[in-house]
């Protein structure tokens, strides 16, 4: 049968027209086509998604430069925008995990107590520290932070919205103040009233996590952003299960100690780690 013999069923309306939009090829080394549709649905952020998330098939990701370096990976700024709708673009934070030989975070064993891996082959490779095992380990830390971000966002903990994960790269909300990256809490000098307000937010965030059986595990004034009057918790790959991890209570007490020491240093004398620890345990059990 030739194309001339083909008759659609049902017949097309005489006014039917086929319309499409073409895009120029990406020829800038800093750019790539959006990876939104390259990942599985479960690798995209929880719904309902914020309005600023760009899901256009024609969107382009443009690398804008490095934002910060960390113990387990580096964070870059990445713009995702459709060339036909440039005003609808968004700048996100792209966290990319390094392989284990390039990380400076070496206390992973105590954080991973109680965790299990889906494939025993991967677990054996990590224990042998083979090249494949190092790649798997980097992916496991990325996956751990991805799941932590999704869960924390869903239960109301103030964390950046997780947009998507692709291998060892997590795209998430870029937290800003007046168009610039929000400072870490450690870089701020809040007045007495704002300091007390920050402490109340911290207690609420930690209580929400503990109620869900979660402990940050590495909480400090360097892992919290101050977005104006709002605190945002970041860096969650080492998040631990309060009960499932034998070190869960120790990590919780250490988080309380680190944070209360900072608040006391800034002038909030009522910040007491033992009182906070007891308060959080009351939420947990």
9 has catalytic annotation: no
CB 208 within 8 A of CB 156: yes
CB 45 within 8 A of CB 68: no
Assign residue 217 a region: left if phi > 0, alpha if psi is -120 to 50, beta otherwise?
left
d(CA 165, CA 40): 9
d(CA 21, CA 25): 13
d(CA 205, CA 152): 9
The single residue of 61, 82, 235, 241 carrying the catalytic annotation is 235
The single residue of 27, 166, 178, 218 carrying the catalytic annotation is 218
Q: Rounded to the nearest 10 degrees, what angle do helices 248-265 and 192-211 cross at?
A: 170
Q: Which residues contact 104 (CB under 8 A, 6 or more apart)?
A: 71, 72
Assign residue 228 a region: left if phi > 0, alpha if psi is -120 to 50, beta otherwise?
left
Cα dist. 179→77, 89, 170 in Å?
13, 14, 21
Number of H helices, E strands in the chain: 6, 12
d(CA 237, CA 108): 10
218 has catalytic annotation: yes
> Would you please indicate which residues are annotated as catalytic (active-site) residues?
218, 235
């Amino acid at each position: 049968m030739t194309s001339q013999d083909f008759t659609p069923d049902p017949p097309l309306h005489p006014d039917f027209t086929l319309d499409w939009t073409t895009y120029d090829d990406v020829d800038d080394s800093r750019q790539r086509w959006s990876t939104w549709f390259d990942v599985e649905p479960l690798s995209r952020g929880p719904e309902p998604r914020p309005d600023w998330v760009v899901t256009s098939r024609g969107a382009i990701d443009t690398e804008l430069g490095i934002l910060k370096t960390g113990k387990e990976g580096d964070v870059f700024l990445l713009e995702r925008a459709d060339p036909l709708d440039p005003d609808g673009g968004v700048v996100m934070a792209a966290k990319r995990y390094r392989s284990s030989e390039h990380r400076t975070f070496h206390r992973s064993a105590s954080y991973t107590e109680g965790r299990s891996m889906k494939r025993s082959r991967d677990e054996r490779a990590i224990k042998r520290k083979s090249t494949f095992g190092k790649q798997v380990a980097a992916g496991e830390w990325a996956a751990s932070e991805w799941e932590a971000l999704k869960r924390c966002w869903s239960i109301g903990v103030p964390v950046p919205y997780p947009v998507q994960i692709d291998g060892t790269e997590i795209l998430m909300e870029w937290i800003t103040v007046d168009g610039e990256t929000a400072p870490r809490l450690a870089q701020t000098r809040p007045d007495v009233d704002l300091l007390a307000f920050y402490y109340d937010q911290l207690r609420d965030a930690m209580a929400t996590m503990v109620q869900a059986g979660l402990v940050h595990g590495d909480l400090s004034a360097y892992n919290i952003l101050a977005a104006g009057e709002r605190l945002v918790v970041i860096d969650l790959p080492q998040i631990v299960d309060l009960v499932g991890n034998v070190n869960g209570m120790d990590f919780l007490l250490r988080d309380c100690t680190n944070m209360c020491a900072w608040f006391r240093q800034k002038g909030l004398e009522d910040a007491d780690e033992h009182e906070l620890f007891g308060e959080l345990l009351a939420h947990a059990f």
